[in-house]
Amino acid sequence: VTVAVADNGIGLPDENRSRLTEPYMTTREKGTGLGLAIVTRIMEEHGGRLTLSDAPEDFHEGRGACVSLEFKTSPVDDGATSEPANDSADGKTSDHLAERA
């Protein structure tokens, strides 16, 4: 499963483009340069990946940037149950959707 988000801004910088996902790499005066590095690491730890590219030509005349998050998918287990996971500290199951209603 891939989620792609494109904007119509100035796009990705030509200089240091390949380093944008490295820790402490920033093109701004303020900021730590950790955001893309953190997202990249989380995606990789879960078997996915983050890619940065220019916006497609058919999107705002090719202006802007595109960030794609490719998530690893798992095959469906026919023996899987629909029971909620036991994820609470007290050992009780919880239905997170019901809690929001």
Query: Which stretches of the chain are DSSP H helices?
Result: 35-45, 96-100
- Domain containing residue 51: 2-73
Please report whether residue 78 resides in a domain.
no
Which one, of 68, 52, 57, 54, lies nearest residue 9 by Cα?
54
Closest CA to 39 of 28, 50, 47: 50
The model's confidence at residue 96, banded by pLDDT at 50, 70 and 90, is very low
Residue 84 belongs to a domain: no
**92 or 25: which carries more pLDDT confidence?**
25
Quick count: other Cβ atoms within 10 Å of Cβ 30?
5
Number of compact structural domains in the chain: 1
Could you tell me the pTM of the whole model? 0.66
Instruction: Give the pair of three-digit tokens for residue 57.
Output: 């030509």
Q: Is the pLDDT of residue 45 over 90?
A: yes
Q: CATH number, domain at 39?
A: 3.30.565.10
Identify whether 62 is part of a domain.
yes
Residue 79 resides in a domain: no
Is 94 within a domain? no
Residues 67, 4 contacting (CB under 8 angstroms): yes
